[in-house]
Amino acid sequence: MLLTILMKLNNVDVLYSVIGVNKKLDQLARDITFTRSIDLVKILSNKKSKSKTKSILDRFCFDIIPRIQHNIESLTLDRLSIGRVLCIGNYLKLWKLTLVNLPLKMACHIFNDESSFIHMFKHQILHLIIKTNHIKFSKKKHVATNVFANIFTIFTNLNHFEFGFEDHFEYSPVSLINLSSTIFYSTSINYLNVTVQYFNDCLCLFDGRFNQLHTVIVKVEIIENSSQIINNKKIVSNLKCFSLFSPDETIEYDSQIVPLLQQMSQLEKLTLSLDVINRTSFIDGTQLYNDILKNMSHLQSFIFDIVTACFQLKAELLPSCNDIRRTFIQSGYHMDCYIDYYKSEEGRCHIYSLPFNMEHMHSITNNFPGGLFMNVRRLFVTDSLHPFEHYFFARISLSFPLLISLEISNRHSQKKKFIHQPSELDKTSFIIIYPHLVELSFFLGNIDYVKQFLLDSNMRLPRLNKLHVNYDELKCVTNNFTNAAAHAKCAKLKHITFDTTETTLVYSKNFFLYCSSLEKYGTRNIFLT
């Protein structure tokens, strides 16, 4: 009965609560069920007090880990726990290591030939995940590239490797194109997930350095015209899973991406997230099948989120959404889409597979039809033709219930202005709730949206603590930081980024009283862009 109850709890919470109570509970908690995988990041990050965090970490290092180290197969650590935890145990069964929020300078000290950690575990680690934090310093690109290369030299049996930033939308400074094939290679890696800046870096993965690859997930900031030639086509043709994500616009879809994909004849799973411009026609089911999919006879899963922006559409070929949807029916892919037409020859088409399982979706406009997107965490909304009205944000809140970050880009003033004193009907009929939204950005938005989100009592933001906004607009909306309606939301803010060209801002005397949580955490959490 007790075991059944404990099995429903987080294993780290069980260890912290039960070990040391009595012998019977000790024996129960030290079972391999609770000790095989230890994630200290969650339990430490949930504590607001530094002293409480230190107390928990001390308990694990001095009391808990020494008792269970012989069972530990997997460790998940952050910058606070890495140094202490890795040096206290004799982890004979450890094969999986996840390091998050890791400063690059710390990574440089850990992953080198002189590190004691390396000597202990270089033959044991099979599965390695590294998420570095985004802190600027000189020679960052050089340091990151060295860390990346050292890992392949050091861990001789590594078969699963992920390397990138903690923030999924920051891109790695690693430059693979400059790494020699004599130091940057592996005969054991079969799963690789990496974020890079350039498409050339992506193509380096297929030049023979990794002859056992079956899964590649690559996030590329810039897909440009590449000079790289893939000499070892066997590696590409043997891939089973390939994912390509790129947030920025590219004109090289037909010249670079399609030729690469045409060589992947053995793929079983393909994921594409692309923003393509300068085509004369929209990417649709017919184009995807004829140019890419028809040669992938083993393909079982195709997941996509593709935007096409065309500036020279043929007047006689202006498809409707239903026209685009019909091109996917024959192939059997479930999807949806919407189209924005600007001028007679200009348009933007956004197609995406359903159900949608990515955490990020390319920017959406007023024509987005809605739906349910449970996995999306970050969203950018923009429209160059029409303002975002109240109902649009209601649709977004229902379509993306787990959204944590929303960025609004729209210079148009709302036609249906925010009503400061809504009627009794409005109070109950138009409530919008973003239950998980932590971060909100108005840098490219009209002041009307700042008013709606901060002043409207029907706009519920229970977890908001990060705001990106123009200082003068915030001062105006809050009536020089005196408005009672916005105070409840601003008082919870821990982090504000002001969009300003001023090197030094002169804050209103009311500012820190109004945004009172900022005062608790110090002005270092106020960043100027």
Per-residue pLDDT at 425: 46
CA distance 349 to 281: 10
User: Whole-angstrom Cα distance, residue 434 to residue 437?
Assistant: 5
Average pLDDT, stretch 115-133? 87
* Range in 31-35, 475-479, 516-520, 522-526 with the lowest mean pLDDT: 522-526
CB neighbour list of residue 229: distance below 8 Å, 6 or more residues apart: none
Highest mean pLDDT among 11-25, 369-383, 428-442, 512-526: 369-383
Is it the case that residue 168 has pLDDT exceeding 60?
Answer: no
pLDDT for 248 beyond 80: yes
C-alpha distances in Å from residue 333, one per residue of 281, 290, 293, 328, 353: 20, 15, 12, 6, 7
pLDDT confidence of residue 95:
96
**Of the given ranges (64-73, 203-212, 471-480, 512-521), which has the lowest mean pLDDT?**
512-521
Overall average pLDDT of the 318-324 stretch:
93
Whole-number percent of the chain with pLDDT over 90: 49
80 versus 298: the higher-pLDDT residue is 298
Mean pLDDT lowest for which of 49-53, 226-230, 456-460, 494-498?
A: 226-230
pLDDT at 114: 76
Please state, in angstroms and rounded to a whole number, the distance separating the CA atoms of residues 242 and 271.
6
Sequence letter at residue 196: V
Whether 134 and 102 have beta carbons less than 8 Å apart is answered as no
Average pLDDT, the chain: 86
Overall average pLDDT of the 42-52 stretch:
71
d(CA 74, CA 6) in angstroms, rounded, equals 20
Question: Which residues on neighbouring strands pair with residue 526, listed in sequence order?
Answer: 496
Residues 296 and 263: beta-carbon distance below 8 Å:
no
Higher local confidence (pLDDT), 198 or 397: 397
The answer to whether the CB of 495 falls within 8 A of the CB of 520 is no
Nearest CA to 216 out of 188, 187, 191 is that of 191
Tell me what pLDDT residue 520 has. Answer: 46
pLDDT over 80 at 155, yes or no: yes
Distance CA 274, CA 247 (A): 7
Q: What is the pTM of this model?
A: 0.89
Question: In 54-159, where do the E strands start and end?
Answer: 74-78, 96-102, 127-132
Residue 124 pLDDT class (50, 70, 90 cuts): very high
pLDDT at 125: 94
pLDDT of residue 195: 87
Query: pLDDT-based confidence at 185, cuts 50/70/90?
Result: confident
d(CA 440, CA 74): 35
User: Which residue bears the tokens 């935007």?
Assistant: 307
Nearest Cα residue to 510 out of 483, 481, 475, 486: 481
Q: Is the pLDDT assigned to residue 231 strictly greater than 70?
A: no
pLDDT at 524: 45
- 415: exposed, middle or buried (Cβ count in 10 Å: 0-12, 13-18, 19+): exposed
